A and B are shown apart, each in its own frame.
Chain A
Amino acid sequence: MNQSILVYRRFRYLKLALLLVLASVILYAFHQPMRVPNGGTWLGYTLGTIGVLLILWLMWFGIRKRRYGGGKVMLEDWLSAHVYLGIALIVVATLHTGFQFGWNVHTLAYALMMIVIASGVFGVYAYIRYPLLMTENRRGTTLDQMLAQMAELDRECRDAAMGLGDEINRYILASSQETRVGGSMWRQLSGRDASCPTHRALAQATGLAAKAQREEAAAMRRVVTVLQRKCDLVTRARRDVQIKAMLDVWLHIHVPLSFALLAALVAHVISVFFYW
């Protein structure tokens, strides 16, 4: 069985990244620039060039990922290297700046890069944390199966409530028609719905069941049981959507900002040469 991308091939790419970081730090420490350390020294240019090449290579991952069946190297190699070398970029690029920051396009490129890396780090966290949670939460069913089970429970609930009062039936109808799983980005990520009609129906039914008379009590108990099961399902389905959203959401920052970074980087490089 394979291991996660972090320990992949006995940390081969971690070692590579550490080597790069170490080399950069040592060179920086022993470097004696004529003025303050900055991107314009030979070391600055060297680190800058390495940084640009790294960024281009890291972005190439998006294309490599879509080259299905191409190349002998496993995609897992690429991702493992992508993660470690991406993180190493923090050190390489920061040393490249010589800790000179300002309100300009150069710092913009740096800031964008840091956001991209941060989102990527969250991605790694999500990839490590959520897969198993998702499996546990699903308990062997798929989301589609959960939705189908909900529809089945709705039918069962309506049948059970046939002889009961209008009020509870209104709640049950609302539960079957207005319960939402997923929806807006925020809803997906929150994994809950404060005004969930199913939970409201359950609360209502539990209250009514306590007061119910003999004939009604049995039917009410059935309604409560079914609603309880549906609540459980709805919660699990929302959790499933939430986890999937967690696995995906960071990409919505990571990928567009990578392109923004690329644009800022081009501006940065051109302007540097323009003012040379």
Chain B
Amino acid sequence: MADRYQVAVIGSGPAGASAGARAAELGLKHILLEKADHLSDTIYKYQKGKFVMATPDILPLRSSLIFQAGRREEVLKAWDDGTAKCKTNVRYGAEVKAIKGQRGDFKITLTSGEVIEAETVVLAIGLQGNLRKLTAPGCDKPWIQYQLDDPEEYADETIIVIGGGDAGIENAIALAVQNTVVIVNREAEFARAKQGNLQLITKAIEDGKIECFSSTEVERGEDDALVLRTKDGEARVKCDRVIARLGADPPRSFVEACGVVFPSKDRAALPELSATYESNVPGLYIVGALAGYPLIKQAMNQGYEVIHTIAGKPVPPADEDLLKKKIAKLGDVAVDDVVRTIQENVPILSGLTALQLRELLLEGTVHVPEAGDVIFRRNDYTNTFFVIVEGAVDVQLDPNDPTFACLLGMGQFFGEMGLLSGRRRTATVVASERSILLEIPRRTMIKLVNSVASVKRDLDEAAMARQIQNNFAPNLTPGDLGDTLKAAQIVKFRAGDYLFKEGEKGDSVHLIRTGSVTVSRRIGGRDIVLSYVPAGHYVGEMALMTNAPRSATVRAAVATETIKLEGAAFMALLDRSPDLRQRVEAVLEQRLMSNVRMEGRPDSGNIIQFLIDQGVGEATDVLLIDESLCVRCDNCEKACAETHGGTSRLNREAGPTYASVHVPTSCRHCEHPHCMSDCPADAIHRSPNGEVFIDDKCIGCGNCERNCPYGVIHLAYPAPEKPGLLAWLLWGAGHGPGQDKHNHDHAPDAKKLAVKCDMCKGIEGGPSCVRSCPTGAAIRVKPEEFFALASFKS
């Protein structure tokens, strides 16, 4: 007869170890089952010295174990020490095969055949699952391993890395520093890898640092070699070591076998849980990454909370106090009530669980504006998203006429335009009565859109309706737009794709939702660019209005999404509104005139095309240098270094030139910044004025440097302070003003951090590079101004 425990915790990661420690402290009869011979296998397998983050910063830690951001070794040691101190009953090498039963009577079968009985089970096995292993014959050699602890441990070996995912690439690159590395990829390309890793491995292969076998499988293992089956036949590769990173079998099938139900077949679907993390199987609790909380601190808090629930001493969640502060403006109301109100009142968020909503509330901000308070103004560069929990707001579409507004009521949302297009706000929003608004940050919203299908669908549909309404039907209510919406769809284009070509039949208009396009015409056998049209405007009306074939070719300058509206529906809208017809005709006339002007000066078009080719189409503010004025004094670089910790963020000389317009290597503050896409520390932000900047949370991981297609971010040591002018002049102490713009000195314990242009945010007078140019050659330009610039230069 096996022992019966009050609680069995399965998995000793952050959630499990925290639960085990709390169970020990509360004196519950417990057992912590871990299949490896050490705690927290996922983090144990991080590369040596990897920096472990403790996000979100604002969330307090509530656990019997200690955890703070630090190196992998420090984190693991703290947990080992804490587990020993609490006297957690850990059973290592205990891999669970099956869990049967429910509250009061669980039977946990281990792979050894042993059965453990428990009243409740806490499942904290994370998402790592079981590592896949090589199954080919002869692959049971001790020199074939499935993890890499410290790449520096190996030197002068020939190592085969198997696997084209991120883990395989990262290992291969780290090992290639002092070993001969061969990477084996089952696929033809590294399609699953992150963009940054893809660039690294492609470059390493091109430079001959790593040999690559693609579309290749392992045939068999021999005593000192692997035999590979490549697309050209068998290849025997002699090696000292094999590191196979084949991914893992997700734990979902195991969890389902325990009786837990998932709401959908979607791979990203999470098991449905109660507010106390209990699954549909009574007595079976799920916490940590498996429950949808991949962050260490959250997982540890949940481990603690779930044990309190089981022990019958429930505690409010760790974020309760923080959430109370967030909703303090609402007066004396319970957090749960607010969460429920949001869920009931706001359709776009109704598909979220209470736990997800709490998280959203934690990252968001609650506003309680009075009637007449401005929420944001047209041309602000904020990109947060707002939902109306109670009350109503006026969206003022016309800057000249505040009475021309569209009313949004309870449950609706706004601010999606800035979020989608990455551009300035297109309208001013004012509270029309006392309201309760929830403001959700860009990053949180993007995560939500990408992970919850219903949110994306609702957002896209509403945004489409609204954009059509704003541009073509301000006098109609959304209800009147039913037929129009049926004739509209969102179309995606890659950079360089054609929206339509000159001479084609004109059957639709395109409202540009994200990205930008160029309009060109073939004149004398050459494509002459006539104009550049950014997000928020439309193209294609000309052919419909004049009832003629397309008069010009329109191509996406960058990755672009448009709302394509059928021609008939568009014409029907015009027929319904004489005002609209007048406005569209005015735009048309302006465009015709400008096209004629541009056709006469093909050089302007060439300059626009040149700028687009440099990727300036996705910029919001770019530094250009007029080389007919630039005296190459490098004062811009010196000023940049002097105002930014000794390291210049711009390289004047590098970069192409056309018709004396030079695009130096310097940040363009992209609409959808590539650098922001994968910042683990969430250190990159866009300020209300549009500057994309890195704050002091940067950990120096280099992701942004790799992700930036324009090479404008680099890692640099903070520079030592410069001496005073006199100390430098009289005694030659250190570097003088303007000297050493690429700082090479640094303190011995200094850490390299990412640096990039912040457009001298916070410095009076604006960007130093422009202000310190003695001849006025350096200018900053917004895309809307390209046209004027090109006309001036040609």
Contacts and interface: CB of A to CB of B under 8 A. Distances in A.
Interface stretch (B214-222, B223-231, B636-644): B636-644
Interface in B619-644: 626-633, 635, 638-639, 642-643
A74 B765 CA distance: 9
Contacts of B792: 1
B768 A135 contact: no
Interface string B653-680: 1101100101000000000000000000
A135 B628 contact: yes
Contacts of A138: 657
Interface stretch (A2-10, A16-24, A200-208, A210-218): A2-10
B779 A2 contact: yes
A69 B640 CA distance: 8
Interface in A72-103: 72, 74-76, 78-79
Contacts of A183: none
A135 B660 contact: yes
Interface in A1-50: 1-5, 8
A66 interface: yes
Given A66-B737, A68-B737, A2 B660 contact: no
Given A127-B631, A131-B627, A135-B657, A69 B774 contact: no
Interface residues of B, number: 38
B737 A79 contact: no
Nearest to B785: A1
B658 to A, nearest CB: 8
B765 A71 contact: yes
Given A1-B792, A66-B738, A69-B768, A131 B628 contact: yes
Interface string B558-575: 000000000000000000
Contact of A1 (B639, B738, B793): B793
**Would you call the interface of chain B mostly helix, strand, loop, or mixed?**
loop
A150 B721 CA distance: 40
A177 interface: no
Contact residue range for chain A?
20 to 34
A222 interface: no
B760 A69 contact: yes
A131 B776 CA distance: 13
Contact of A68 (B629, B639, B774): B639
B41 to A, nearest CB: 50
B789 interface: yes
Contacts of B775: 4-5, 76, 79, 127, 131
In this complex, the member of A3, A74, A142 whose beta carbon has the largest number of chain B beta carbons within 10 angstroms is: A74
Contacts of B737: 66-68
Given A68-B642, A244-B632, A76 B627 contact: no
Contacts of A75: 635, 771-774
In this complex, the member of A69, A130, A140 whose beta carbon has the largest number of chain B beta carbons within 10 angstroms is: A69
16 contacts: A1-B789, A1-B793, A2-B776, A5-B775, A68-B643, A68-B738, A68-B768, A69-B643, A69-B768, A74-B770, A75-B773, A126-B631, A131-B631, A131-B775, A134-B627, A140-B657
Interface of B: 626-633, 635, 638-639, 642-643, 653-654, 656-657, 660, 662, 737-738, 760, 763-765, 768, 770-777, 779, 789, 792-793
The 4 tightest CB contacts between A and B, nearest first, are: A2-B776, A68-B642, A69-B643, A68-B639
